[in-house]
Structure 1
Amino acid sequence: MRWDRFFEDLEDQLASEWEAERAALDTEAERLRLARVAMRERLRALAEREPSVAPSFELADGTVEVAPVTGVGADWVGLAPAGPPGAMIVPLAAIVAIGMPHAELLRSARADGGAASTLGDRMTLGFVLRDVSRRRLPVTVSLRGGRVLTGTIDRAGADHLDLALHDPGAARRADAVSGHRMVPFDAIVRVRVDAPVALL
């Protein structure tokens, strides 16, 4: 009788140790998976489903934009800001923090780090701004120092854009242009496209 009890105790102890080891392995596997998840993938997860509450984006100029994610590129995120129709393009480097409910935060962390690359994932900030330039859409460009420029993007290079300055809402005509600026992408906090446009 005592031997039966002894063997039952050994079996219980062995099963308990196996469970503890499996839990430790699962925890380590989850840590390794999370180590490979990039912020872009988490933002893409937010764009793929309608969140219960729009995330709040704290930006490098100290402002906060509360808006759903509409698209994610190689180095930027597209937002649908409140107010008049339009789109907002925010370089990932200009994001200081993103606030959202804990449930959304956990769901975004479950993003599949090994998802296949899409065309949108390869679109750089320059690519998207060249499209805005081609369409001759009016924009509002917010810079890191807090300055705001309005106008039309004449051209977008590899790491900068040329902006023809004019009043918001005005068409880009030679007599309406008050100046020109070359703006490095690193100085941009957000580009608000002041017209209905789909980024992806």
Structure 2
Amino acid sequence: MRWDRFFEDLEDQLDSEWEAERAALDTEAERLRLSRVPIRERVVALAAAGAQVVVEVAGGGTVSGRVSRVGLDWWALETSARRPVVALVPLSAALTVGTTAEAVLSSVREAAPGSVLAQRMTFGFVLRDVVRRRIPTTVHLTDGRALAGTIDRAGADHLDLALHEPGVPRRADNVTGFRLVPFAAVALVRLDAPADLP
């Protein structure tokens, strides 16, 4: 009888040690997984959850709203203003992303690269669609300035902006100047008219 109890105790001890080792391995595997998750995948999870966020962008500005789309190197927010607009934010211009504790934890658990098509849509690609639609914009720069106008062209790493007053159509007599703006200088592009993004 004593030997039976002795062997049962040994089995319990071995089982406990295996459980502890398995838990340690699971914890380490999760740490390794998290070390490989880029912020883009977390933003994809925020979009899938329809999370509300507040984004601080380079240049000191903030934009708040619901994450609606995520491309390769940009994301779109539908602002929660009285007149909703869309803001396109290059991932590199986002300084911080504020949201609820639940959304933060969910974005870690649900992190995924998203659709193959979305992974191929670059900032330049979405801006070329804005050009095609002739949507009036306000381009917020990383130094804090804002330029209102219409994007005439979007190249590989820059855009051409025809400057004019907000709410005024882009016509030759309304244009007050032109700017070539490198994407690296863009904090966000606010679409000043309703738009259906690709």
Contact 1:87/1:198 (<8 A) preserved: no
- Structure 2-normalised TM-score? 0.94
How far has the Cα of 1:116 moved from its partner?
Answer: 6.2
Q: Secondary structure at the match of 2:147?
A: strand
Contact 2:58/2:144 (<8 A) preserved: no
Contact 1:59/1:94 (<8 A) preserved: yes
Q: Which amino acid is the alignment partner of residue 108 of structure 2? A: A
Q: Distance in 2 between matches of 1:27 and 1:149?
A: 48
Structure 1 residues 10-65: Cα deviation after superposition (integer angstroms, max 9, x where no partner): 111101001001101111221222222221111111111233xx111111112222
Q: Secondary structure at the match of 2:79?
A: coil
Q: Which amino acid is the alignment partner of residue 15 of structure 2? A: A
List, as ranges, runs of 4+ consecutive aligned residues in structure 1 with deviation greater than 3 Å. Answer: none
What runs of 5+ residues in structure 1 fail to find an aligned partner?
A: none
Equivalent residue, structure 2, for 1:153: 151
Deviates more, 1:122-131 or 1:83-92: 83-92
Equivalent residue, structure 1, for 2:191: 193
Equivalent runs, 1:83-122 vs 2, <5 Å: 83=81, 84-113=83-112, 117-122=115-120
Contact 2:57/2:94 (<8 A) preserved: yes
Contact 2:41/2:114 (<8 A) preserved: no
Contact 1:76/1:124 (<8 A) preserved: yes
Equivalent residue, structure 2, for 1:55: 53
Structure 1 residues 52-105: Cα deviation after superposition (integer angstroms, max 9, x where no partner): xx1111111122222110100010010001232321100000011111111110
Q: Distance in 1 between matches of 2:23 and 2:84?
A: 49
Q: Secondary structure at the match of 1:37?
A: coil
Equivalent runs, 1:19-58 vs 2, <5 Å: 19-51=19-51, 54-58=52-56
How far has the Cα of 1:3 moved from its partner?
Answer: 1.5
Q: Which amino acid is the alignment partner of residue 95 of structure 2? A: V
Q: Distance in 1 between matches of 2:17 and 2:39?
A: 36
Q: Distance in 2 between matches of 1:35 and 1:109?
A: 11
Deviates more, 1:31-40 or 1:15-24: 31-40
Deviates more, 1:75-84 or 1:33-42: 33-42
Equivalent residue, structure 2, for 1:5: 5
Q: Distance in 1 between matches of 2:107 and 2:60?
A: 24
Equivalent residue, structure 2, for 1:176: 174
Q: Secondary structure at the match of 1:175?
A: coil
- Structure 1-normalised TM-score? 0.94
Tell me the number of residue pairs that the alignment of Structure 1 and Structure 2 aligns: 197
Q: Distance in 2 between matches of 1:149 and 1:116?
A: 32
Equivalent residue, structure 2, for 1:70: 68
Contact 2:44/2:114 (<8 A) preserved: no
Change (3 A) 1:61 1:38: same
Change (3 A) 1:144 1:121: same
Equivalent residue, structure 2, for 1:165: 163
Change (3 A) 1:112 1:144: closer
